[in-house]
Amino acid sequence: MSKIRTLSQLQDSLDKDFSWRLKEIADLKVTVKGTSSLGQATIIRAGAPLLYAHWEGFIKHASQYYLNFVSCQRLNYGDLASCLVVFGAKKHLATITGSRKASMNIAAVDFFRHCSGERADLALSSAIDTKSNLKSEIFENIAVSIGVPVTSYDAYYKFIDESLLARRNKIAHGEYLDLNADDFRRLADEVIKLLRIYKTDIEKLASMSAFKSMPITMT
């Protein structure tokens, strides 16, 4: 992934990732609407897992773009919001909980005592893990981990778990699922709405410098 150093570059990355997904979902809706009833059920069954893939893919990529942007600000740990410091501290936390070697534990403690003046290393390659199963609980954990307020998503958790993820799993496991054209359209529209909300939240975090140690409260 290319380095994202400016707000403009972050916006471009988010726009590009969102735009191609929006087009593909729109194309799916048009195809479903224009297909005869005999072939429509098959297209809908193939399209439902694709809608889930766009949900998981965009949340993962948008979160990674934001962390990439934060990393490129070249801030010290002491300048970062606590949720973001965790990305640099995870390996040290793992050392303290899992290692019996005194030297490694001492090094971990030294990190926590003196890290505020060190350049932050956010370990981007493993930062965002959707576990290929982006249910509401995992989504909330990802959102909280980068500072996205989650209250506006509460009303969508049932949709994420039951309407989107459960249907994807049933189809992926070869089960029959009766989903009509109107159901598919509503499913697609809700996915687009969720992606748009998350995109806006990421943009707000960046524009308000909410990644810094005293972030502004978002409304």
- Report the alpha-carbon distance of residue 172 to residue 159 in Å, rounded: 18
According to the model, what pLDDT value does residue 122 have? 78
- For residues 171 and 44, what is the distance between their CA atoms, to the nearest angstrom? 10
* Position 65 pLDDT exceeds 80: yes
Residue at 214 is within a domain:
no
Residue 207, pLDDT score: 97
Domain-embedded: residue 215:
no
**What tokens appear for 111 in the block?**
């990190």
Give the long-range contacts of residues 153-157, CB within 8 A, separation 24 or more: 153/194, 153/197, 156/190, 156/194
Cβ(65)–Cβ(13) below 8 Å: yes
150 located within any domain:
yes
Looking at residue 104, its pLDDT comes to: 66
In a domain, 110, yes or no: no
- For residue 212, give the DSSP letter: B
Query: What is the C-alpha to C-alpha distance for residues 163 and 135, in angstroms, rounded to an integer?
Result: 11
**Sign, Cα dihedral of 12, 53, 196, 129:** negative
Of the candidates 201, 216, 102, 106, the one whose C-alpha atom is nearest the C-alpha of residue 153 is: 201
Which positions ≥6 away from 144 have C-beta within 8 Å?
Answer: 83, 150
The answer to whether position 160 is within a domain reads yes
Predicted pLDDT of residue 14: 98
Which residues are 80's β-sheet partners? Answer: 212
pLDDT at 108: 63
Please tell me the distance from the alpha carbon of residue 108 to that of residue 102, in angstroms, as a whole number: 10
Q: What is the DSSP string of 136-198?
A: HHHHHHHHHHHT---GGGGGGHHIIIIIIIHHHHHHHTT------HHHHHHHHHHHHHHHHHH
When pLDDT is averaged across residues 69-73 and rounded to a whole number, the result is: 94
**Mean pLDDT of all residues belonging to the chain:** 88
Choice among 40-49, 91-100, 175-184, 187-196 with the minimum mean pLDDT: 91-100
Show the tokens assigned to 108: 């971990």
Local structure of 207: helix, strand or coil: helix
Residue 68 falls inside a structural domain: yes
pLDDT > 90 in the chain, percent:
61
Least confidently predicted of 64-78, 108-122, 192-206: 108-122
pTM, two decimals, is 0.87
pLDDT of residue 215: 45
The answer to whether position 103 is within a domain reads: no
Domain encompassing residue 13: 7-75+129-207
Which token pair is 88? Answer: 């640099």
The 10s digit of each residue's pLDDT in 155-192 is 999 999 999 999 999 998 888 877 899 999 999 999 99
Confidence band of 137 (pLDDT split at 50, 70, 90): very high
Q: State the pLDDT at residue 178.
A: 77
Asked, for residue 108, whether it belongs to a domain, the answer is no
Across the range 96-106, mean pLDDT stands at: 66
Average pLDDT over residues 133-152: 95
Interval 132-144 mean pLDDT: 95
Total of domains in the chain: 1
How confident is the model at residue 216, as a pLDDT?
Answer: 47
